[in-house]
Structure 1
Amino acid sequence: MPPSASESTALLGNGNGSHSRPTFAHRVKAVITAEGEPSWAESYKFFLFGSYFNLFLAFIPLSFLANFFGWDASLRFSFSFIAIIPLAKLLGEATEQMSAKLGQTLAGLLNASFGNAVEIIVGIAALLQDELRIVQTSMLGSILSNLLLVLGCSFLAAGFKFKESNFQVTAAQASSSLMTLACITLVIPAAYHSTMLAADGAKNKLPLLFSAEADIDQSGLLAISRGTALLLLGVYVAYLCFQLKTHAYLFEAEEDEAEAPRMSVVAAGVALLLTTIVTSFCADYLVASIDETAERYHIPKAFIGLILLPIVANAAEHVTSVWMAMKGKMELTIGICVGSSIQIATFVVPLLVIVGWISNHELTLFFANFETITLFVSVFLVNTLIQDGKSNYMEGLMLVTLYFVVALAFWVTD
């Protein structure tokens, strides 16, 4: 039997049957328990038990214990390395769940901000520990991993199911052109560095192809890098407007009917905050163990930064991209791979340069000539393969092969 008017009034009033305005606590409660949204229990049940990736969450306490008790560097590195894999997935899940109710523009901005949260967290952790080499190689490695390994595996997987896959060529070319611009901005500091060495009368030019070390004034490189970082951030903001507003139709792809959110907005926001905090600790432990692990087990630090660390950040993204490609949704695959690389090159890397500027760490956009050439040829190959708007398994094999060649080169170079 429905409640009487007086009973309804009492429920909304002060308990004596008289009406009163809702208090601040009532308003907060109304937001937290919005009608139609999952409860907190339902939200966190999905968040913690919604993926097999979450089985690896067991490595989080192991990572904390290994660091607290000073266990062997290999254990600290391994436990932190594995722990970050599910955390990266949870960061993406929380971001996606928050985006579901925020509208296209806010959702796009949120995904742009937190889409590469693990790279940002690992980069800042390495930066604050003065591991500038790790910062640079991990950022470069994330770009190469997305462009070569993830995109290559996606083309390869789709090629075994479909003879040929098609995608929107205009959007792909716009994205690859921006990636080319970001690549060129990394070539300029390397060219400046080489020119300065020549002007200083360097006798042996061969090591420039293999080393980032040089005894020249860093002020010029810092000025170029910091100015370029500000300009790239401006270009990235313009790209977001291009993608989300002015030319959004180019990036639209056929999607399945949208699923109802599995988490409330507030629960997803809290989960995002907590996951970010835990990830920052694991990233800090991971970076702190790199030096000892590299020295004890004879693993080049460049290989750790360029190959191993990006695997952590891109594991969940890799699975999603391949899955979308096998379903024939190549626009989404291109968006994940090339879009993520653009975020790193035009947002994450410049952001870290600015953070280094603020924290008095001299992080520059100067990469060794060998690394710069590697990035350039990778971007060139990707641009060549996607310019016709079609893909097949052979193109995927080319990308994956180049990635393994790069991995082999960095295994023997440090």
Structure 2
Amino acid sequence: MENSETDHQPGQIRYYVEDYWDLVVGIIAIITSIVMHQNGNGAMATMFAALGIAALSVTVSEIAEILSERLVEPYGSMVLTFSAVIVEIVLLYIVLREALHSPEVVETVKGGIISAVIVDMNVLLGLAVFIGGLKYVEQEHNKETSSTYTTILFVTALALLVPSLLSHTQHGDEVIEKASYSIAVVLMLFYIIIFIFQTKTHTHFFQATAKSRFFRLKRKLKEGEEINEEEHSDYLFERFNNFANFIVLLVLIATIAIGAEVFASDGVKLAKEYGVSAGIAGLIIAIISVSPEIFTAIKAARNDQIQRVVNIAMGASVVSILLTVPILLGLSYLSGLTLMLDFNPLQVGALIMTVILAWKSTEEGQTNYFEGLAQLMFFVCYAIIAAYY
């Protein structure tokens, strides 16, 4: 009996590490960042704040997924949608507030908005497709999903061109600002229509097809894998009721906001000191905010759930623009700050090319490691240009 209990201990420890590493690391990192900030060690404070934000964001996404499975539509999708962008919005808004002292920070925020989509579509999707392709050679998904999302993203990218084009005319900042708010309203209305399309009228566009499910089943049978696997489900937040989980979400988001304050104040100073470009700073913010989805997508790809990967990458990209932009503009207006959507040619061009590349990689409903590698290569090229632009 004692040997049996001893045998179970390593397994229990492993489950505890797998289930709660993000929560423990996140809290410790945020506390450490506050201490470092108070001691005047800006570099360490920024690093630990970034680590804490990324780790706690993983916990936020896991709790949101639990809630989404329990709630009926459209509330389940709403929880997932907002959890996907809440960290990005909090981080970008707190960085934007630094513009009161450092006006150039506005360019970093605009870079962060575009970079979130570029990271989602090239790093998240590219890395997951590459890893999944190495393990399974080819993976199948519902091509209607990628077709719909890339159409939405292409139209959205063209909408963002309006203020950008006006900035190259003789119109003043007042006209560009009005155009930016008008586009923000249009984007929000567009999102409402898409939300209805996704959760009410055309839900089948965003689900795995019978063919792709059979593709996975056939492969599992061929490889001799068990179809129904029991998974460890003794997760603390699984035992909480919905109200308790919502409270935990609010507490975690508040903790992330504290870390974001440290990250913004010390990070802006470091960027100035070391001459970090707005493009690279925006990429760093995007990678931190997108990190939970990256972990989830890689895990899904390794489990041969490429449909889930496509939904996460492209769905998060859509929400990153259609919700983040209007909300950030609204918050900036209420805070007495000016945020205009006059993105530079590199940002708009990279956004449009990202959408085209993602469309070509997923249009046939099949993916392989080469397509993932192509998107990763595009990201590397963009990062190099952003560093010197």
Give TM class, smaller chain: 0.7 to 0.9
Residue 113, structure 1, aligned to residue 68, structure 2: no
1:299 counterpart (257, 276, 291)? 276
Cα distance in 2 between the residues matched to 1:317 and 1:335: 11
- CA separation in 2, counterparts of 1:389 and 1:264? 38
Aligned: 1:411 with 2:380: no
Q: Which has the larger radius of gyration?
A: 1
Quote the residue 1:243 is aligned against: 198
Query: Aligned match of 2:112 in 117, 138, 141?
Result: 138
The question of 1:288 aligning with 2:265 is answered yes
**Percentage of identical aligned residues:** 19
Give the Cα–Cα distance (whole angstroms) in 1 for the partners of residues 128 and 83 of structure 2. Answer: 23
* Match in the other structure for 1:52: 21
Letter in 2 for 1:76: A
Find the counterpart in structure 1 of residue 246 from structure 2: 269
Structure 1: which amino acid aligns with 2:107?
Answer: R
Structure 2 Cα separation of the partners of residues 47 and 272 of structure 1? 20
Is there any run of 5+ residues in structure 1 with no aligned partner, and where? Answer: 1-45, 197-215
CA contact (8 A) 2:95 2:109 kept: yes
Q: How far apart are the structure 1 equivalents of 2:258 and 2:167?
A: 35
Aligned residue in 1 for 2:34: 64
Contact 1:291 1:301 in 2 (8 A): no
Structure 1 residue 360 corresponds to structure 2 residue 336: yes
* TM-score (norm. length: structure 2): 0.84
The structural deviation recorded for 1:359 is 2.3
Which of residues 302, 305, 312 in structure 1 aligns to 2:288? 312
Partners of 2:318 and 2:197 in 1: how far apart?
13
Q: Per the alignment, do residues 245 and 341 of structure 1 end up closer, same or farther by CA in structure 2, a change over 3 Å counting?
A: same
Q: Is the 8 A contact 1:153 1:400 kept in 2?
A: yes
Which segments of structure 1 move beyond 3 Å, counting only runs of 4 or more?
A: 46-49, 253-262
Q: Work out the CA distance in 1 between the residues paired with 2:126 and 2:239.
A: 32
Summarize the alignment of residues 13-28 of structure 1 with structure 2, pairs less than 5 Å apart.
Answer: none
Q: What's the CA shift for 1:163?
A: 2.2
Deviations 1:233-265 (A, max 9, x none): 011011111111111122123698996934321
5 Å matches for 1:365-384?
365-384=341-360
In structure 2, the gaps of 5 or more residues are 1-14, 100-104, 217-227
In the alignment, which residue of structure 2 is the partner of 1:93?
62
Q: Does the residue aligned with 1:152 lie in a helix, a strand or coil? A: helix
Letter in 1 for 2:19: G
Distance 1:297 1:55 in 2: 31
Deviations 1:360-406 (A, max 9, x none): 21111111112111111111111122222111111111000000011
One-letter code of the match for 2:44? L
- 1:4 alignment partner in structure 2: none
Name the counterpart of 1:232: 187
State whether residues 158 and 165 of structure 1, in contact with CA within 8 Å, keep that contact through their aligned partners in structure 2: yes
Q: Give per-residue Cα distances to partners, 1:126-175, cap 9 Å, x unaligned.
A: 22222322221111111100010110111101111222211111121111
1:103 paired to 2:77 = no
Matching residue's letter, 2:65: E
* Partner SS for 1:366: coil
Q: CA deviation at 1:55?
A: 4.2
Instruction: Considering fraction of residues, name the structure with more helix.
Output: 2
Code of the aligned partner of 1:287: A
Which residue is 1:147 aligned to?
121
1:274 Cα offset (Å): 0.5
Superposition CA RMSD, Å: 2.1
Residue identity opposite 1:170 in structure 2? E
Deviation of 1:336 (Å): 0.4
Instruction: Tell me which amino acid in the other structure corresponds to 2:31.
Output: P
1:388 to 351, 364, 374: 364
Looking at structure 2, the residues matched to 337 and 404 of structure 1 have their Cα atoms a distance apart, in angstroms, of 18
1:165 alignment partner in structure 2: 139
Match 1:321 to one of 297, 307, 321:
297
How many pairs were matched up?
347
Give the superposition deviation at 1:301.
3.4
Partners of 2:173 and 2:32 in 1: CA distance: 41
Could you report, residue by residue, the CA deviation over 1:46-99 in whole angstroms, capped at 9, with x for unpaired residues? 999723333422111111112233x22212211111111111112112222222
Deviation at 1:312, TM superposition (A): 1.3
Is this contact kept in 1: 2:37–2:266, CA < 8 A?
no
